């Protein structure tokens, strides 16, 4: 299949830059009240937000691995998987991530860790049973690419404004319910809620905008990991085949198996849920688009490009 011009890496680079600019604008909007108090206060607010986001990313990694029931495996326990990771890390020059396996029947894989030094790659038992050796290596290369690109950290930083807005909205809504409180406290809570209504409206806008930007950012990071991972193995067709098999198997998976993947969420190589709303509310790009980009990359590699 001849690739079209719009599947080039230059287009993806510009789209990623646009997504990063949108993330920066969301941070700027969140820090606007602090900037109104002065540039120093605004800069301090942004720095504090990024710092908290980084620490949140590190804490979230452990929570995700525990929620998935991930078990770290040694080279003696999983020699083939470790051998694949060794080859990928030699190709990329990255520190070797730790390897974990979780007893989930639905096929998937994800990466955890805010940087190469703290990275961990986890695969499900369902993935190992579904894919052949070359396809499994392609998926591990995709996750290694996430590690190389520091996508877990970048995603946590992008997610922080909408997460804070969500927490504020939850607290604001509780002011009106005030269950278990006396009449005086309920009245005071409702009055505070009315006073804070403008802030709640601003938080709602921030949450909506931040979520849409985060999802767009996540979709582009997946495309970048597809390209980088395919270049690590030199076989884009293997990743395309793996993605197709995983997607088809997830469609047939039970609700219980899909529920077991929820803690990994947007970190998974393939989303367990449909795209909806023409993909705007999806953490992953459509399979068709991923296949087209990988086919274009195969075409360029075959031509020596």
Least Cα distance to 112 among 71, 64, 66, 54 occurs for 64
Cα 22 from Cα 9, distance rounded (Å): 20
120-124 and 98-102 as β-strands: parallel, antiparallel, unpaired? parallel
For tokens 């290596």, what's the residue? 137
User: How does DSSP classify residue 115?
Assistant: S
Backbone angles phi, psi at 9, to 5 degrees: -70, -30
| Helix, strand and coil in the chain, % to nearest 5 | 70, 5, 20
Contact between 121 and 147 under an 8 Å Cβ cutoff? The reply is: yes
Cα 273 from Cα 193, distance rounded (Å): 35
Contact between 51 and 103 under an 8 Å Cβ cutoff? The reply is: no
CB atoms closer than 10 angstroms to residue 175: 18
Within its chain, how far is the Cα of 50 from the centroid?
A: 17
Is 143 noted as a catalytic residue in this protein? Answer: yes
Contact between 125 and 221 under an 8 Å Cβ cutoff? The reply is: no
Residues 78, 120, 143, 159: which is the catalytic one? 143
Residues linked to residue 120 through DSSP beta bridges, in sequence order: 98, 112
* Burial label, 221 (beta-carbon count in 10 A; 0-12, 13-18, 19+): buried
Catalytic residues: 143
């Amino acid at each position: 299949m001849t690739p079209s011009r719009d599947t080039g890496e230059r287009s993806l680079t510009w789209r990623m830059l646009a997504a990063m600019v949108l993330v920066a604008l969301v941070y700027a909007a969140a820090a606007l009240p602090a900037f109104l108090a002065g540039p120093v206060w605004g800069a301090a607010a942004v720095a504090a937000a990024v710092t908290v986001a980084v620490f949140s990313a590190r804490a979230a990694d452990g929570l995700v691995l525990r929620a998935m029931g991930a078990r770290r495996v040694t080279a003696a326990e999983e020699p083939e998987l470790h051998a694949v990771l060794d080859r990928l890390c030699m190709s990329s020059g990255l520190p070797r991530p730790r390897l974990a396996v979780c007893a989930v029947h639905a096929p998937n894989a994800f990466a955890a860790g805010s940087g190469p030094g703290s990275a961990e790659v986890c695969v499900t038992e369902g993935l190992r049973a579904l894919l052949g050796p070359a396809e499994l290596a392609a998926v591990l290369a995709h996750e290694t690419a996430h590690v190389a690109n520091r996508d877990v950290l970048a995603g946590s930083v992008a997610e922080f404004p909408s997460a804070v807005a969500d927490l504020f909205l939850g607290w604001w809504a509780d002011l009106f319910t005030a269950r278990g409180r006396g009449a005086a406290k309920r009245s005071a809570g409702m009055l505070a809620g009315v006073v804070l209504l403008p802030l709640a409206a601003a938080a709602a806008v921030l949450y909506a905008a931040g979520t849409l930007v985060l999802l767009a950012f996540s979709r582009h990071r997946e495309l970048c990991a597809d390209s980088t991972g395919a270049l690590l193995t030199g076989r884009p067709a293997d990743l395309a085949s793996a993605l197709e098999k995983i997607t088809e198997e997830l469609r047939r998976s039970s609700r219980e198996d899909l529920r077991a993947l929820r803690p990994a969420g947007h970190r998974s190589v393939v989303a367990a849920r449909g795209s909806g709303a023409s993909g705007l509310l999806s953490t992953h790009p459509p399979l068709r688009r991923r296949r087209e980009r990988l086919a274009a990359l195969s075409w360029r590699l075959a031509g020596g490009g």
